[in-house]
Amino acid sequence: MTRGTGRRTPIRTLLTIAKADEAVVATGWVKTSRFSKNVSFMHLYDGSTTKTVQVVLTPEQTEALQSRLVVGACVRATGKWVVSPAKGQAFEIAADSIEVLGDVDASAYPIQKKDTSFEYLRTIAHLRTRTNTFQSVFRVRNALSWQIHKFFQERQFLWIHTPIISTNDAEGAGECFGLAHGKPGDPPFFGAPAMLTVSGQLNVECFAEAFTDVYTFGPTFRAENSNTARHAAEFWMIEPEICFADLDDVIALAQDFIQVVGRATIAQCAEDFEFFDARIAQDKEFTNKTLAILDRPFARITYAEAQDILLKSGKKFEFPIGHGTSMQSEHERFLAEEYFKGPVFVTNYPRVQKAFYMRLDDGGETVSATDLLVPRIGEIIGGSQREDRLDVLQEQLRVRNMPEAPYWWYLDLRRYGTVPHGGFGLGFERMLMWMTGMTNIRDVIPFPRTPGHADF
Ligand code: 4AD
Ligand code: MG
């Protein structure tokens, strides 16, 4: 591969070369260096793999450079691919030359062995990418995005780019970031107060009713002031929407999606998952347990059944359970973690707890909604069959004191060729947390936005 800086081979590719004596160029950053009288060693990483490549240097080569070949320095090594006499690697680079492209002041470099807590690393989010954990996290984040697109593209779903700027609070939860412009008192730029989108669902439904199977995958924004390990103000959501479908079809799609995408991501990033097993979960069976879960059907219960299980559990919860009160994270986690020991779809929630667009069940008390709860995290998916009957949908707006006018176009979908349809939203970061064992959403987002934090 030719780049402006000269020929180089990614370390991941280098390590697959099984033939000695090839001329190679490796570029990257120093992970470790060790100097002795007769020979010196340096390990380089470049982000392409969890592994490093060993570069062997002679005393002559390092004489003038020793103080510069320190952790974090950016270098280019040119040499020969040779069989390594030592344990630890099959091959190594016998360097002909070594060049320092970017120096590091070792006494000031913030990535040191002494403080590597995730809390500390969040304060240097621009540099934490250089640590083993974040290298693995962001490789898996990349792979998961790729596998998600692959899943839908292979099934003829269209990817729809729904808008980021919106004038509708799709979820009706009032957790929006408003947009300001110009001077106070200026008329609204968009004719109505605008905000950052909380969901692309209402927009993507318009496309579903023309293209049948569609999805959005993009950033969404919520001004929830909940300072928890599972909430971010800016997160990514995947929202498929399918026509000629009821709640059972939505649940079948959600299960297939999680299972296929989860297995493919683990296969693509096998090394990274080995790292998570050893260093994050500290359980060498952690990923194997995930794979086992991904091979069997998920449990499914109604909200009423969930309430019964919780009431009969004899467990002391911080928030009491009563029929009608909404489930808290502790209840969700109990169901997935302790009771089902795996993912569980909870269905048919009370109407009053859910959004206006969900299909009203016979009896009028519950809606055809589902949340998927998983161990350690709680809710990772929220979805439903949509209310496709115009009069019922209008009534659902009315009982919530929501005006019809801003939704005229959404109601039109029920006026012209309405169809049974539904979909769900997966919290991308929550899936990442569930799979990697990372416990804080701030540590699976490149530059997390949470109350008080939008630096970097
Ligand atoms: O359950 P929610 O609010 O559902 C919707 O937005 C629907 N419009 C989805 C649909 O049917 N198309 O959000 C969906 C998921 C949640 O289950 C959760 O995983 C994630 O989005 N989520 C968050 N993730 C991180 N930080 C937050 N503040 C989140 N709020 C929701
Ligand atoms: Mg939800």
| 425 C-alpha to ligand 1 centroid (Å) | 6
What pLDDT, in 10s, does the model give residues 79-115? 999 999 999 999 999 999 999 999 999 999 999 777 7
Once rounded to an integer, what is the mean pLDDT over residues 249-257? 99
Nearest CA to ligand 1 atom 27: 231
**What is the 430 CA–ligand 1 centroid distance (Å)?**
10
pLDDT digits (tens, 9 = 90+) for 259-284: 999 999 999 999 999 999 999 999 99
> Does residue 344 belong to any structural domain of this protein?
yes
| Nearest partner of 240 among 278, 271, 200, 270, judged by Cα | 200
Do 84 and 176 lie in one domain? The reply is no
On whether both 151 and 68 belong to a single domain, the answer is no
Q: How confident is the model at residue 6 (pLDDT cuts 50, 70, 90)?
A: low
Residue 450 within a domain = no
**Do 192 and 62 belong to one domain?**
no
| Nearest Cα residue to 335 out of 365, 368, 298, 361 | 298
**Cα 188 to middle of ligand 2, angstroms:** 30
In this structure, are residues 24 and 93 in contact, taking their beta carbons and an 8 Å threshold? yes
Q: Taking the alpha carbons of 443, 447, 448, 454 in that order, is the dihedral positive or negative?
A: positive
- Tell me whether residue 268 is in a domain: yes
CA of 239 to the centre of ligand 1 (A): 9
Ligand 1 atom closest to Cα of residue 198: 6
43 and 144 together in one domain: no
CA proximity to 167, closest of 385, 403, 454: 403
CA distance 174 to 142: 31
pLDDT at 43: 97
Q: What ranges make up the beta strands (E) of 103-212?
A: 158-159, 165-166, 195-196
Block residue for tokens 């490796």: 26
Where do the H-state alpha helices sit in 294-399?
303-312, 329-333, 390-399
d(CA 374, CA 337): 7
Number of domains making up the chain: 2
On the question of pLDDT at 2 being above 70, the answer is no
Nearest CA, atom 1, ligand 1 = 382
> Interior CA angle at 359 toward 429 and 310, to 5°?
60
Q: Report yes or no on 110 lying in a domain.
A: no
Please identify, among 102, 137, 153, the residue that sits at the C-terminal boundary of a domain. 102
Which atom of ligand 1 is least distant from the CA of 222? 28
- Tell me: do 287 and 346 sit in the same domain: yes
**Which residue from 237, 329, 347 has its CB within 8 A of the most atoms of ligand 1, so it is best to mutate?**
237
- Segment 53-67 mean pLDDT: 93
Is 80 in the same domain as 174? no
From 67, 102, 137, give the residue that closes a domain.
Answer: 102
Q: Ligand 1, atom 26: nearest CA belongs to which residue?
A: 231
pLDDT at 323: 62
Residues 225 and 308 reside in one and the same domain: yes
Residue 337 has pLDDT above 60, yes or no: yes
Tell me the residue range of the domain where 61 lies.
11-102
Ligand 1, residues at Cβ distance < 6 Å: 170-171, 199, 201, 222, 224, 231-232, 235, 237, 239, 379-384, 423-425, 427, 429-430, 441
Taking 70 as the threshold, does the pLDDT of residue 199 lie above it?
yes
Whole-angstrom Cα distance, residue 375 to residue 382? 16
pLDDT grade for 224, boundaries at 50, 70 and 90: confident
385 assigned to some structural domain: yes
Least-confidence region, from 179-183, 207-211, 303-307, 361-365:
179-183
Instruction: Tell me, yes or no, whether 229 and 291 share the same domain.
Output: yes
Ligand 1 atom nearest 431 alpha carbon: 19
Q: For residue 427, report the distance from its CA to the centre of ligand 1, in Å.
A: 6
Query: How far are the Cα atoms of 155, 315, 321, 327 from residue 309, in angstroms, in the given order?
Result: 37, 10, 10, 12
Distance 381 CA to ligand 2 centre (A): 7
| Each residue's pLDDT tens digit, 123-134 | 999 999 999 999
Do residue 178 and residue 39 come from a single domain? no
**Per-residue model confidence (pLDDT) at position 168:** 84
Is pLDDT of 4 > 50?
no
User: Would you say residue 54 lies in a domain?
Assistant: yes
Which one of 430, 440, 449, 453 would you pick to mutate in the ligand 1 pocket, going by the greatest count of ligand atoms within 8 A of its CB? 430
Q: Using 50, 70 and 90 to split pLDDT, how confident is the model at 164?
A: very high
Q: What is the CATH number of the domain that holds 48?
A: 2.40.50.140
Q: How large is the average pLDDT for residues 223-228?
A: 86
pLDDT digits (tens, 9 = 90+) for 306-326: 999 999 999 999 988 876 678
pLDDT digits (tens, 9 = 90+) for 365-409: 999 999 999 999 999 999 999 999 999 999 999 999 999 999 999
Residues 235 and 363 in one domain: yes
Q: In the structure encoding, which two tokens stand for residue 65, read together? A: 């450079």
pLDDT of residue 150: 98
- Gap between the Cα atoms of 119 and 437, Å rounded: 16
90 and 144 part of one domain: no
Average per-residue pLDDT in the chain? Answer: 95
Same domain, 210 and 312: yes
Is it the case that residue 208 has pLDDT exceeding 90?
A: yes
Distance 378 CA to ligand 1 centre (A): 12
Confidence of residue 357 (pLDDT cuts 50, 70, 90): very high
In a domain, 114, yes or no: no
Q: Is residue 5 part of a domain?
A: no
CATH number of the domain encompassing residue 132: 3.30.930.10
| CB 156 within 8 Å of CB 213 | yes
Asked whether the predicted pLDDT for residue 336 surpasses 90, the reply is yes
